[in-house]
Amino acid sequence: MRVLRLMDIYTRRARLAPALLVSLPLAAAVTACFPSGILGWGSLWGLVVWSGGTLLLAQIGRDLGKRKERLLFEQWGGRPTALMLRHSSAVNSVVLNRIHGKLAALTGVAAPTAEQEAADPARADAVYDAWTTFLREKTRNHEEFALVFDEVCSYGFRRNLWGLKPVGVVLALSGLAAALVMVARGARGSALGAALISGLLLVCWFVWFTPDWVRMTANAYAERLLGASEKL
């Protein structure tokens, strides 16, 4: 569709896709209730898309994800990049010192020593955040930094999907209830499919779509972003 083509790749993968997945139980339930399409749901969906409905879904997913991102960072103890750049959480001090030296040279912002970080953690994190901002701006070329782009899309998808959890749970419950009512009334086929879709998504909301699930891609993105400094 023309509106979808106008969206950039990141918007489609990280913002729109989570919103569409959240709305899937509702779409499945509507299809089960009106299998013959007598109410013109296909035309209605086309109207929604044309009027900017998909863009709105993408923005809602983005806003809710960003709003909850700060809560995730608080749970994790800081931004993933800052955690990887801290002396206190270094796995390999040799690698860490090389990255510090590279980023200090690239940005002109001196690297905090282990003693300075321990004495003023907030100041050290401010430096690490400044380095991270620099790297994000320098790696916006999707073709040159394809691995970084793939990871940021994956992280954005999971973060925004987790941000939509309250909406997703409500829609999954509503879709499941509607589908089960149709099954109880003797409907089969699409009604059973809708019930299965809603039930599986409901399980995913409580078992799979968790902060730890988001953190996996957050760490992967942070690793790729910091690793990109070697190419600058």
Nearest to 14 by CA among 156, 221, 142: 156
Work out how many domains the chain is built from and give that number.
1
Q: Which two tokens stand for residue 38?
A: 């007598």
44: in domain: no
Domain with 11, as residue range(s), is 2-35+64-231
Question: Is 50 within a domain?
Answer: no
Question: Do the Cβ atoms of 169 and 202 come closer than 8 Å?
Answer: yes
- The answer as to whether 46 is a domain residue is no
Within-domain flag for 195: yes
CB proximity list for 207: less than 8 A, separation 6 or greater: none
- pLDDT tens figures, 178-216: 888 888 887 777 888 889 999 999 999 999 999 999 999
Across 17-34, average pLDDT: 82
In a domain, 147, yes or no: yes
Neighbours of 193 (CB within 10 A): 14
d(CA 15, CA 35): 29
Q: Is 174 exposed, middle or buried (0-12, 13-18, 19+ CB in 10 A)?
A: middle
Residue 59 lies in a domain: no
Range 113-136 average pLDDT: 96
Classify residue 53: in a domain, yes or no: no
CA angle 81, 84, 86 (to 5 degrees): 105
Rounded distance between C-alpha atoms, residue 149 and residue 141, angstroms? 8
Backbone angles phi, psi at 53, to 5 degrees: -60, -40
What is the tens place of the pLDDT at every residue in 152-176? Answer: 999 999 999 999 999 999 999 999 9
* Contact of 160 with 61, CB cutoff 8 Å: yes
Tokens of 1: 């569709």
Q: How do residues 75-110 score in pLDDT, each as one tens digit?
A: 999 999 999 999 998 888 899 999 999 999 999 999
**pLDDT higher than 60, residue 71:** yes
pTM over 0.85: yes
- Look at residue 186 and tell me if it is in a domain: yes
Mean pLDDT, residues 226-231: 93
